[in-house]
Structure 1
Amino acid sequence: MAISPSAIVLTTLNHGSCITTTRRVHELGINMHVLCAIQRVCILCEKRLLTTVDDVDKHLKEIKTFRYNRWLVVLMVGLSCGAFSLLFGGDWPVFFTTCVASAVGMFVRQEIAHRHFSPLINFAATAFIATSIASMATVYQWGDQPYLAMAACVLLLVPGFPLVNAVFDMVKGYFNMGLARWGTATLLTVSATAGIVLAMKLTGVWGWNP
């Protein structure tokens, strides 16, 4: 098996004949429920609990896509970013401002992703809107350390999966895939930074200090 950023190449032997097939990799969202289900099938194959192609095919076809309600995701992302603001030393006004900013940002992120825009545009727009809302805490002096809301509201944009998987791929020897994911994570970070800087430019709130 050869993995590249845009395709997977599989080669096998069938009755003494070599068969190679190539499948294109399409840009899809990450669904951890599906990934875990596929991982379980792989483990069953390694333990020889699944020994035939039909058994594997049956288990794979039984995998159903599960998604959380989008409003539940918006709520939990808002609360998680708000919790980070408390961990950073913020008070309750900062917490509520962060919750609102990050929740609105997550809603915007979902809407843009639903319309299949580039992830780079998505991250920049989400960072811009979330930072613009959070900067109001500094403008109107909500709380003791209002600038913490600006730092915490964009934590939903940290590209954790591409960065972690990039390291895993390179450790396993898939350097092309690892570097591609690392580059993707870097570009997403730059896009989010551009949105944050643009928001601070328009609101006049620079840096994380009031």
Structure 2
Amino acid sequence: MESEQRAISRLIAQAGQMLHAHGAESALIVGIMERMGLACGMDEVEVSLCANSFVVTTVTSEHCMTTARRCADRGINMRVVTEVQRVCIMLEKGILDHHLAQQRLSKITPERYNRWLVVFMIGLSCASFSHLAGGDRAVFAMTFIASAVGMIVRQEIGHRHFNPMLNFAITAFVTTFISAQAVVFDIGNSPNVVMASSVLMLVPGFPLINSVADVLKGYINMGIARFVMGSLLTLATCLGIVAVSGVLAMFGVML
């Protein structure tokens, strides 16, 4: 019985790690872990979350087992979150036991879109914002180029596992430097729109939304941690933009 409880505890911990590492909100992480434990026959499952780790305790037949796990940030990936939820539902319906669920979790991989498709769509979305802001075709084209190149830089730095704040600062600098050429050479009817629209890809919307959701659902520590991280990423982006303004002596050009 102890060995089975240990296996179930590892299953729950692995599911929690995957959810935590790929951007799930705190209520979902705790809910999925508890549901999986109860579906596997545990009497009680208790979870305590921190910003980069968690502690989970399982109780069955008055026997308690506690395990702690660290959770590295592996980037937002809703496919992983969805697949873990699917495993949980299959456990609850009796389609899987904890051995099959463990095998299924181990096969989940964070598949991502083709990088060039992402570059194109990011460029197109930022350029679309510039068009909505009143920019002409020249502004649209400059925004597309600046944001697409910036996304390539962001991907390359991310693949080398640099600090996210350094990634955002460098990406913001490169993107703003390219978009600032529209102001320098007076390209399009609203050159300032190029500078404003091209860096929209760096807005950390997901962490900030999750931080609000966590606070509203009672996970205050997690909400504060995610809000601070989102704020630091925003600050890093601002520093990259300000650095370009200093290099090109363009302070106030976006006002």
Q: TM-score range by the shorter chain?
A: over 0.9
Distance 1:3 1:50, change over 3 A: farther
Find out whether 1:64 has 2:100 as its counterpart: no
* TM-score (norm: length of structure 2): 0.77
Distance 1:133 1:30, change over 3 A: same
The question of whether the paired residues in 1 share the 8 Å contact of 2:175 and 2:198 is answered with yes
Q: Where does residue 72 of structure 2 map in the other structure?
A: 26
- The ranges of structure 1 where at least 4 consecutive aligned residues each deviate by more than 2 angstroms after the TM superposition are 39-46, 48-52, 54-65, 204-210
Task: Select which of 180, 183, 192 maps to 2:225.
Answer: 180
One-letter amino acid matched to 1:124 = A
Moved more, 102-111 or 64-73: 64-73
The question of whether the paired residues in 2 share the 8 Å contact of 1:151 and 1:208 is answered with no
- CA RMSD in angstroms comes to 1.7
Find out whether 1:199 has 2:244 as its counterpart: yes
Shift, 1:204, TM fit: 2.2
Q: Where does residue 125 of structure 1 map in the other structure?
A: 170
Moved more, 172-181 or 64-73: 64-73
Task: Select which of 214, 218, 222 maps to 1:169.
Answer: 214
Q: Where does residue 134 of structure 1 map in the other structure?
A: 179
Q: How does 1:104-123 map to 2 (within 5 A)?
A: 104-123=149-168
One-letter amino acid matched to 2:84 = I
Find out whether 1:36 has 2:82 as its counterpart: yes
The question of whether the paired residues in 1 share the 8 Å contact of 2:91 and 2:97 is answered with no
Distance 2:129 2:103 in 1: 43
Distance 1:167 1:81 in 2: 25
Moved more, 165-174 or 189-198: 165-174
Distance 1:84 1:49 in 2: 48
One-letter amino acid matched to 1:35 = V
More RCO (CA 8 Å, sep 6+)? 1
Number of matched pairs: 209
One-letter amino acid matched to 1:176 = N
Q: Where does residue 202 of structure 2 map in the other structure?
A: 157
